[in-house]
Amino acid sequence: MNIKISGCSLFLCIGMSACQNQVADGTNTVVVKNPSGGSAMMQRVEIPLDDKFKGWVLKDVPSEWVQNEEGNYQLYAQISIPAGQERSFTLVSPSNDQMQWPDHAHAELSVRTGGAWEEQVYKADGFSFESVEQFTSPPQLTDHSYYLRYEGPGWENDKVGYRLYLDWRNAIDVFAKTSSQVALPQAGQDGYDSYHELASWGGDALKVGKSLGVGALGRVFGDKIMHFQHVDTTSWELQHNGSQFATFDVDYTNWRTQENSDDGIDITTSYTINAGDPSTQISVSTSKPTEGIVAGLVAHSGMAVIDQTYGNWGVIATWGEQSVLSDGDKLGLALFYPLSQVQSVTKGEFDHLVQFKPSSNFEYYIMAAWPGHTDNIEDQAKFSDLITEKLKALNTPIIVHEVSLNN
Per-residue confidence in pLDDT tens, the chain, 407 aa:
233 333 333 322 322 223 333 333 458 999 999 999 999 999 999 999 988 899 999 999 999 999 887 888 999 999 999 999 999 999 998 877 667 889 999 999 999 999 999 999 999 998 899 999 999 999 999 999 999 999 999 999 999 999 999 999 999 999 999 999 999 999 998 877 788 888 899 999 999 999 999 999 999 999 999 999 999 999 999 999 999 999 999 999 999 999 999 999 999 999 999 999 999 999 999 999 999 999 999 999 999 999 999 999 999 999 999 999 999 999 999 999 999 999 999 999 999 999 999 999 999 999 999 999 988 899 999 999 999 999 999 999 999 999 998 86
pLDDT of residue 406: 82
Q: Are 46 and 74 in contact (CB under 8 A)?
A: yes
- What's the CATH code, domain 2-98+399-406? 2.60.40
Instruction: Give whole-number Cα distances, 22 to 5, 30, 258, in Å.
Output: 12, 11, 63
- Position 164, amino acid: L
pLDDT of residue 407: 64
pLDDT of residue 212: 98
User: How far separated are the first and last CA of the chain, in Å rounded?
Assistant: 5
How far apart (Å, rounded) are the C-alpha atoms in residues 80 and 40?
Answer: 6
| 3-state DSSP assignment of residue 386 | helix
Give CATH 2.70.98 domain extents, the chain: 105-376
| Residue of 367, 365, 386 lying closest to 375 (CA atoms) | 386
Ranges of beta strands (E only) in 93-153 are 105-108, 110-118, 121-131, 134-136
- 357: DSSP letter: P
pLDDT of residue 168: 97
How far apart (Å, rounded) are the C-alpha atoms in residues 319 and 330?
Answer: 7
| 3-state DSSP assignment of residue 335 | strand
Architecture of domain 105-376: Distorted Sandwich (2.70)
Q: Which long-range contacts (CB under 8 A, 24 or more apart) does 257-261 make?
A: 257/219, 257/221, 257/226, 257/230, 258/221, 258/230, 259/230, 261/230
Give CATH 2.60.40 domain extents, the chain: 2-98+399-406
**Predicted structure pTM score:** 0.92
Instruction: Give whole-number Cα distances, 183 to 129, 175, 178, 204, 331, in Å.
Output: 16, 9, 9, 12, 19
How far apart (Å, rounded) are the C-alpha atoms in residues 52 and 73?
Answer: 11
